Amino acid sequence: MAMLVDVTDSTFEDEVLRSEVPVMLDLWAEWCEPCKKLELSVEKIAGKYEGKIKICRMDVSCNPRTVAQYHVMNLPTLLFIRSGEVVGQHVGSAKPTDLTRKIEGHLGIASA
């Protein structure tokens, strides 16, 4: 299974904005029940895109700078980022099939 990369305000630029491959960033919080459901979907699809995209996670409770910069108002939020620019966003829970469609639509990446 693909590794999920935990990012923080201080590692965000290097891990996400400067990534050589597109990124799906999962913004979550420990207290958020829908975030836990989404995490299961993210984990299920992660292996399909190994080497094609980077899947990152950020705990919003500990990283207020990035949350404010991207105006994240609701959780969970997924940001789809290519070449340092947000090209798509999803708010709320999602099934693995929904995530697959969003990755392929926003990032133009097909699964293996």
CATH number, position 10 = 3.40.30.10
The residues that are catalytic are 32, 35
Q: So what's the pLDDT on residue 1?
A: 41
pLDDT in tens, 23-49: 999 999 999 999 999 999 999 898 889
For residue 78, give its domain range: 5-93
Distance between CA atoms of 53 and 26, rounded to whole angstroms? 13
Instruction: Tally the domains of the chain.
Output: 1
Q: Which residues contact 52 (CB under 8 A, 6 or more apart)?
A: 21, 22, 109, 112
Structural domain contains residue 22: yes
Structural domain contains residue 55: yes
Three-state SS for 79? strand
Q: Span 96-103, mean pLDDT?
A: 94
E-state strands within 1-112: 5-6, 23-28, 54-59, 77-82, 85-91
Per-residue pLDDT for 5 more than 80?
A: yes
Q: So what's the pLDDT on residue 98?
A: 94
